[in-house]
Structure 1
């Protein structure tokens, strides 16, 4: 939604600075969430797989 709004406001010169600020913040938040996902998804996926690997039912322990 921000990109079409930015393009529209760029050509109509209506609140251009607010549109630019909105686009900048949108890109910044998107980048931060993406980097956070890439950093942590492998670690937590591996931890869950290791936890499932060591889980045993009570029948197999006894």
Structure 2
């Protein structure tokens, strides 16, 4: 039981050292992540459609 208490005491100690982002920074980072995810999703949709169309054309020859 002492080791569990020591573990959680260490966790609390380390969490106090964490530098949490401010609201403005968090908003900026969230916008960057979401825009990157949307861009990558659209990119892969276009690539997938292109490859699919290429296979359809190739198989119809």
TM-score for both structures, normalised by structure 2:
0.50
TM-score computed with the length of structure 1 as normaliser? 0.49
Specify which structure has the bigger relative contact order, considering alpha-carbon pairs within 8 angstroms and separated by 6 or more residues.
Answer: 1
